[in-house]
Amino acid sequence: MRDLPLPLALTARLSPVVVLACAGWALTSGPFAPAPTAEHHAAQQDTPSGGAEASSSSTAPSSTAVSKAYASAPAPCASVAAKTIGSLVPGAKTAGKEIPSTDTKVRRTCSWNALKGFDYRWLDVSFEIMDSQAAAQKAYEDRTAEKSGGGAVPGLGDSAYSVVNLTTQDKQQTREGVVMARSSNALVVVTYNGSDFETKKAPDTDEINKGAIKAARDAVAALGNGRQG
């Protein structure tokens, strides 16, 4: 792994990534931003009824509680196995860096990034805990609709979707994969991207897509730490 500071020539070549990193995870965790070129890749409340408030709350759970399996987001930087981080982001510290959140019970995000030689990789994992399964499902449907060109990922949470996009800036390619998965009232969003600053090419679609799905499987499994007891 090349230590910073980088040689001036390489620093100039890395400027798009440096700007991206300084701008924060929101610019690279693009589940919420449109991407120019889509590359298709598919792996294939009710409220409680009436009655005395004291007795209903103590004798029967509300349907809202039933539809809310997770009370809080898990620690995001511990949600992806060290082995997974090592394979997807070579040279990154496995501890990652948690992004500040206004409410860590409902939203938490961790980011890993590293430059090894001329290969750059960035991984974000985000958890959102919603009030109900219905709310999480609506958010999932809205966001996948914004990210056209992808496909379903079978066997991941209650429903999952993945899409890969290619962008080019100053002749430098970056390929980014986004996986969105819903499990009960939780939404997991994984963003994984990469660039080669020697060839100016991006990793292939399959590598990025499989990497994002691998991290998403770890993250969904980690949701159990926030399950209501």
For 67, 90, 141, 142, 224, the CA distances from 135, given in Å and listed in that order, are 10, 36, 10, 11, 19
Is the pLDDT at 138 greater than 70? The verdict is yes
Report d(CA 131, CA 226) in Å as an integer: 14
Query: Has residue 175 got a pLDDT over 80?
Result: yes
State phi, psi for 121 to the nearest 5 degrees. Answer: -135, 145
Would you say 149 and 36 are in contact if contact means Cβ atoms under 8 Å apart?
no
Beta-carbon contacts of residue 21 (< 8 Å; ≥ 6 apart): 28, 113, 122
Task: Write out the DSSP string of 151-192.
Answer: EE-TTSSSEEEEEEEEEEETTEEEEEEEEEEEETTEEEEEEE
pLDDT band at 224 (very low <50, low <70, confident <90, very high): confident
Interval 111-136 mean pLDDT? 97
Mean of all residue pLDDT scores within the chain: 79
For residue 11, is pLDDT > 50?
no
Mean pLDDT of 85-107: 95
pLDDT tens profile 151-165: 999 999 999 999 999
Please say if the pLDDT value at position 142 is more than 80: yes
Backbone angles phi, psi at 184, to 5 degrees: 50, -120
190's tokens: 């994984």
C-alpha 8/C-alpha 102 separation (Å) is: 37
Q: Please tell me what DSSP assigns to residue 25.
A: H
pTM for this prediction: 0.74
Between 29 and 184, the more confident residue is 184
